[in-house]
Structure 1
Amino acid sequence: MDMANSLALFDKKLEWHDDSENINELAAILEHMPLAIVQAAAYISQRVPRYSVSQYLQDFQRSASKRTSLLNSDGGQLRRDGEAKNSIIITWQISFEHIREIRPTAADLLSLMSFFDPQGIPEVLLRSRDRESQHDGKDNDDDDDGRSDINARHSDSDEDGSQSSGNDGFEADTFEMHGLVQLATQQWLKAGKQQERWNQQFVKNLNAEFPSGEFENWESCQGLFPHAQSAAAQRPKKKESLEDWASVLYKAAWYALRMGNGVEAERMSVQVMKVRKKIFGEEHSDTLHAMGIVGMSYRLNGQWDDAEKLELQVMETSKTKLGVDHPDTLTSMANLAFTWKENGKEIEAVRLMEDCVRVRKRVLGVNHPHYISSCIALDAWKAE
């Protein structure tokens, strides 16, 4: 249904309203789904005059649990509305049960898709990473066996709730899934104690495909970044999945940093740092890498003191654990030098970068890009 028809339906159900701006926004958020619109209108009408379209919109945007509560409402006037016999959550879950019964692979595909960003889900991310899979009907959060085959194609996904797009190339195909259908699907999975299992599969698949943030991978990173943002809000519980989750966020944070998105880089990298400290300890190389990105994110966001404190810790720990000549130690020295320079500590910055240049020349050679970049920075600082 398009915007015009959505607004007409709202006008029919809310004859008294005079809040066109919020009605337009609410129709868009409800993705122009007739049942959701009828349900929202019934909920609002039942509570007038103590409740308004604006309040419903604020409540709906507050959290996933609040959206579920609103979309599950079927009391009073909603039951009297012939166009809304059941809530959208209940309606979808009934449909999902039917899909699960007649086409298990389609149900598995939709289960997995419910964790991604709704738009542009690459088909490659929907393939199973498990060697063996089977349907035993007994999957739960404590059972890693019996993973079902999710190599479903378009014919499965068209059953309900998802759409495919793309060109004739197999790798280029992408899918979409209504956000409200995702919400309903996750509620169904949660009730059946399968939510954690599919979240783990989602993280595993995304980690396998998300590349490093190097320049040659930017196009791929751009397409996958919204899914990494979705992953950031869906932290798994098991240690193995937490490592995959941290890896996804680490690579996404690197990409965000390269794109100048300091807010997202900091948000993701801080989560990575906390998880890796807990799993590996503060002196592990993976933890130090995460701390390094957090420090650079702080610097990009103008948080000089926080960046300096963290980068100094990374440098000193790297010297102790890895040695002064280790490339990671040299990187930490360069990072701290840049932070000192931007924080007005020019003398300290020049001295530290001189040390970095000297060791990089000996360890990496004069043709190494890291040596060249540090020389360029040092020459520019001395010329000021």
Structure 2
Amino acid sequence: MSFCDRLAIPESLLRVKVDEPIRFADGLLDFEEDVVVLRSFSYVSHTADAQTWEMHRLVQTATLVWLEGHGRLDEVRERFVHHLRNAFPTGQFANWPVCRILFPHAKSTAEQKPVNPSALIQWASVMYHSAWYALEQGDLNDALGTATAAITARSQQLGAEHESTLWSIAMVVSTYRSQGRWKEAEELEVKVMETRVRVLGGEHPDTLNSMANLAATYWNQGRWKEAEDLISEAAEASGRVLGKTNPDTLGRTYAFHQIGRHDDSQPVKKCCDATEE
């Protein structure tokens, strides 16, 4: 509880499985017994929802001090990060109810960066998923902050060219685009695309996705010809690799036509034979 946001702490986050005891370094403590003790001293209390808890601010602070004094701070922090990583889903629409409950605790975790490399990778995943949810909710400042934190941690632990690092950069790009910061978005998108071309190959699906995103950024800056050339290349390769009827291929073909209509110097034309009959 000490690493959570002190309000509305979901019980599901406090135990791996219901009624399964949690093992600490100095013995076996049962969750239910612990809660009885904490409630008897009014250290924690149920909210209106019987499945969530609140912890007094002073109790939370005192517990952190106690853990640090007994050399247990890193151990418990890492366990909490592990549980939160397993509980926090992606930011897709279907997951919003769960994300909404866990998001305050992810924000609290942003200030509790672990030292252990494996825990740090899990922490970065929490940051990435929380950035995804924040972006979907239009909370652009939180999205940018947590996505940037994920980039830093993943670059350190996995490398600058690791796919997880590139996805974190792409999350920052999406945030920049939502803020209308097209030039900054373009610079990062070019970096991601060039890295994927070098590491994954020019026709890897992730590379093609980067090409399509960069084309959209060109389009939003009124750079019709650059956008048209790039989306045409992505559509051709997508047709070869994914098939003519693949949703991504069809989407890129449609985007090609839409971009062409905005380029007065270029007539609207069919996409390449690889993507259209």
Determine if the TM-score, normalized by the shorter chain, exceeds 0.5. Answer: yes
- Confirm or deny that 1:122 pairs with 2:10: yes
Q: Secondary structure at the match of 2:32?
A: coil
Distance in 2 of aligned mates of 1:182 and 1:367: 56
Q: Secondary structure at the match of 2:213?
A: helix
Distance in 2 of aligned mates of 1:149 and 1:348: 63
**Closer, same or farther: CA 245–185 of 1 in aligned 2, 3 Å:** same
* Bigger mean CA deviation after superposition, 178-187 or 207-216: 178-187
Distance in 2 of aligned mates of 1:164 and 1:366: 56
Whether the aligned pair in 2 keeps the contact of 1:118 and 1:176 (CA below 8 Å) is yes
Q: Which residue of 1 aligns with 2:47?
A: 165
- Number of equivalent positions: 258
Distance in 2 of aligned mates of 1:222 and 1:361: 38
Deviations 1:110-130 (A, max 9, x none): xxx011112221111101489
Q: Secondary structure at the match of 1:320?
A: helix
Give the alignment partner of residue 125 of structure 2, picking from 213, 232, 247.
247
Q: By how many angstroms is 1:166 displaced?
A: 5.7
Q: By how many angstroms is 1:242 displaced?
A: 0.1
**AA at the equivalent of 1:161:** Y
- Confirm or deny that 1:264 pairs with 2:142: yes
Distance in 1 of aligned mates of 2:137 and 2:248: 20
- Confirm or deny that 1:195 pairs with 2:73: yes
Distance in 2 of aligned mates of 1:167 and 1:274: 37
Deviations 1:74-133 (A, max 9, x none): xxxxxxxxxxxxxxxxxxxxxxxxxxxxxxxxxxxxxxx011112221111101489972
Whether the aligned pair in 1 keeps the contact of 2:22 and 2:30 (CA below 8 Å) is no
Q: Which residue of 1 aligns with 2:188?
A: 310
Q: By how many angstroms is 1:321 displaced?
A: 0.8
Q: Secondary structure at the match of 1:302?
A: coil
- Confirm or deny that 1:151 pairs with 2:31: yes
TM-score, length-normalised on structure 1? 0.62
Q: By how many angstroms is 1:246 displaced?
A: 0.3
Whether the aligned pair in 1 keeps the contact of 2:21 and 2:30 (CA below 8 Å) is no
Q: Which residue of 2 aligns with 1:218?
A: 96
Q: Which residue of 2 aligns with 1:293?
A: 171
Taking every aligned residue pair, what percent have the same amino acid on both sides? Answer: 38
Deviations 1:132-157 (A, max 9, x none): 72452xxxxxxxxx6x5463375344
Q: By how many angstroms is 1:230 displaced?
A: 0.8
Distance in 2 of aligned mates of 1:360 and 1:259: 31
Whether the aligned pair in 2 keeps the contact of 1:128 and 1:151 (CA below 8 Å) is no
Q: By how many angstroms is 1:366 displaced?
A: 4.4
Distance in 2 of aligned mates of 1:342 and 1:270: 24
**Closer, same or farther: CA 318–219 of 1 in aligned 2, 3 Å:** same
Q: By how many angstroms is 1:316 displaced?
A: 0.7
Distance in 2 of aligned mates of 1:152 and 1:123: 11
Q: Which residue of 2 aligns with 1:351?
A: 229
Deviations 1:46-89 (A, max 9, x none): xxxxxxxxxxxxxxxxxxxxxxxxxxxxxxxxxxxxxxxxxxxx
Distance in 2 of aligned mates of 1:131 and 1:123: 14
Distance in 1 of aligned mates of 2:131 and 2:221: 23
Structure number with bigger Rg: 1
Distance in 2 of aligned mates of 1:341 and 1:150: 58
In structure 2, runs of 5+ residues without a counterpart are 263-277
**Closer, same or farther: CA 150–289 of 1 in aligned 2, 3 Å:** farther
Deviations 1:307-352 (A, max 9, x none): 1111101101101111122121112112212222223322212221
Q: Secondary structure at the match of 2:23?
A: coil
**Closer, same or farther: CA 312–124 of 1 in aligned 2, 3 Å:** same
**Closer, same or farther: CA 259–357 of 1 in aligned 2, 3 Å:** farther
Give the alignment partner of residue 330 of structure 1, picking from 208, 224, 228.
208
Q: By how many angstroms is 1:248 displaced?
A: 0.5
TM-score, length-normalised on structure 2? 0.84
- Confirm or deny that 1:229 pairs with 2:111: no
Q: By how many angstroms is 1:181 displaced?
A: 2.6
Distance in 1 of aligned mates of 2:72 and 2:2: 12
Whether the aligned pair in 1 keeps the contact of 2:21 and 2:29 (CA below 8 Å) is no
Q: By how many angstroms is 1:196 displaced?
A: 1.6
RMSD: 2.4
Distance in 1 of aligned mates of 2:127 and 2:241: 31
In structure 1, runs of 5+ residues without a counterpart are 1-112, 137-145
Q: Which residue of 1 aligns with 2:259?
A: 381
Distance in 2 of aligned mates of 1:176 and 1:266: 28
Q: Using CA pairs below 8 Å that are at least 6 residues apart, which structure has the higher relative contact order?
A: 2
**AA at the equivalent of 1:259:** Q
Whether the aligned pair in 1 keeps the contact of 2:173 and 2:188 (CA below 8 Å) is yes
Whether the aligned pair in 2 keeps the contact of 1:340 and 1:349 (CA below 8 Å) is yes
Q: Secondary structure at the match of 1:235?
A: coil
